[in-house]
């Protein structure tokens, strides 16, 4: 399996990379939250732009990026507008969603964009090609807040993202039982060992699924998400505790 290198971070090698979402509503708070991460072990930062009060104004989004990037201290930045249909904060027209992602790619300020894989195959492929032409990596994502699909369906969705050209396929599911968590973990192992030729990211959400956020090194998930203040998805734990737990597990695994 190949790895994905973004700045100094190699995704898909060793310990899962810790990503912290920034979920503030105003430009000043976004910068303030980012600055507060300077003394925390973080591999990547995700700006969840759907939390931003002016997320539907492309010019204001770009203005935030211009102030945000200089304070990142070379930490890779993921740009994500999570739509309401996949658990995000704001609804957005599909064409506006595509235009926003393209406008952000054009700035040259982001390292990775997250595109929702079921936006429409042609739209997704178009954005992936556009991003790659600009040297930007792509996470194709899918979030199921209702259930945990069968392992066959989870694998099928991840394989589709890979075929469409995403650098990192990602899926998050909602477990209703302990067996659902095992279904997600089994799918992760099978995908990573039998089908994936690039890093994948998987997680079971909610408190029930926390174990899936800790055991990526064993089961095959390359990125895990931890909180600073407010979680961007159910089941996220504090970034500092997450980093320490991953280190402890790594020492015992190896």
- 182-209: burial string, b at 16+ Cβ within 10 Å, e else: bbbbebbebbbeeebebbbbbbbbbebb
- Give dist(CA 9, CA 171) in Å, integer: 21
Cα–Cα distance for residue pair 183/187, rounded to 1 Å: 6
Q: Looking at the DSSP assignment, which residues form a beta bridge with residue 238?
A: 227
Determine whether 170 is an active site residue: yes
* 129 in a labelled binding site: no
- Residue 126 annotated as binding? no
SS3 90: strand
Q: Is 47 annotated as a binding residue?
A: yes
Element (H, E) at 143: strand 137-144
162 annotated binding-site participant: no
For the chain, the residue count is: 254
Is 82 within any annotated ligand binding site? Answer: yes
Catalytic residue among 17, 137, 151, 170: 170
Of the listed 17, 137, 143, 151, which one is catalytic?
Answer: 143
183 belongs to an annotated ligand binding site:
no
Q: Residue 164 in contact with residue 139, Cβ under 8 Å?
A: no
Active-site residues, by number, are: 143, 170
Binding residues for 3-dehydroquinate: 46-48, 82, 213, 232, 236
Binding residues: 46-48, 82, 213, 232, 236
């Amino acid at each position: 399996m190949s790895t994905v290198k973004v700045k100094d971070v190699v995704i898909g090698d060793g310990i899962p990379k810790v990503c912290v979402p920034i979920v503030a509503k105003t430009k000043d708070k976004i910068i303030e939250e980012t600055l507060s991460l300077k003394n925390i072990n973080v591999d990547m930062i995700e700006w969840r732009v759907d939390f931003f009060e002016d997320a539907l104004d492309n010019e204001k989004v770009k203005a935030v990026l211009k102030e945000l990037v200089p304070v990142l201290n070379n930490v890779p930045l993921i740009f994500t507008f999570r739509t309401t249909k996949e658990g995000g904060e704001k609804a957005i027209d599909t064409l506006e969603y595509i235009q926003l992602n393209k406008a952000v790619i054009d700035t040259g300020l982001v390292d990775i964009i997250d595109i929702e894989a079921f936006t429409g195959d042609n739209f997704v492929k178009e954005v992936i090609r556009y991003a790659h032409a600009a040297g930007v990596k792509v996470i194709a994502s899918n979030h199921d807040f209702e259930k945990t699909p069968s392992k066959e369906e989870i694998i099928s969705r991840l394989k589709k993202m890979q075929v469409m050209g995403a650098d990192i396929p990602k899926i998050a599911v909602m477990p209703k039982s302990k067996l659902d968590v095992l279904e997600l973990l089994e799918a992760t192992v099978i995908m990573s060992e039998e089908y994936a030729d690039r890093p994948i990211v998987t997680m079971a959400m909610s408190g029930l699924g926390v174990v899936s956020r800790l055991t990526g090194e064993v089961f095959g998930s390359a990125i895990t998400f931890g909180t600073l203040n407010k979680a961007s998805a159910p089941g996220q734990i504090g970034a500092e505790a997450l980093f320490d737990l991953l280190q402890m597990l790594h020492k015992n695994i190896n």
